[in-house]
Amino acid sequence: MKLEMKDSPGQLVAALKPISDVGGNIIAVIHHREPDSDTHTLNVQIVLALPEGRLDKLVTLLKEQGVHIQRIGKERLLYKRTVILIGHLMHTDLSDTVDRIDSTGFAEVCEISMSMPAINERSTSRVTLKATNRVDMESALAVLRKVSAEKSLLLIEPLEETA
């Protein structure tokens, strides 16, 4: 969901509360603190999960709060890129590697397939990332490059990119 709201204290909370009120779960909030100079508004992207049939009620509650809905969509992560990671993936905590991407709020790991030949041998993993746009994808890859260097993993990129 992409929202436009007044640039004044409390507006973000006013936009988030109705999500809770209808039983929704907020997954990520992307809030850029650069108000539109002409209208004194902010754009906020919210990734959320809603129980079936609650969207209309949420839209009504948001409008009552004076929040303008610019876009509602089921898929916000439009850019995909697949890479290969080689190394001691399990010994270096693969979960941590995934969490570092997922915690960015603008990208996530959406697929992993792995081959683990033996306990003391290096594993190979095919990892697919999704991001909101090309710039965010590059930022997510920068995070993955940094993590790979820290953990002595070989990163082979990109295998593919789709938008």
Residue tagged 């990734």 (tokens): 47
- 67 and 13: one domain? yes
CB atoms within 10 A of CB 32: 9
pLDDT at 139: 93
Looking at 45, 71, 97, which one is the last position of a domain?
71
- 19 and 67: one domain? yes
CATH of the domain at 20: 3.30.70.260
pTM of the model: 0.54
Report the amino acid identity of residue 103.
Answer: S
Domain count, the chain: 2
- Percentage of residues in the chain having pLDDT higher than 70: 89
Secondary structure in 3-state letters for 59-95? HHHHHHCCCEEEECCCCCCCEEEEEEEEECCCCCCHH
- 67 and 84: one domain? no
Q: Determine the Cα–Cα distance for residues 146 and 153; give it in Å rounded to an integer.
A: 10
**Residue 130 pLDDT exceeds 80:** yes
State which residues form the domain around 11.
2-71
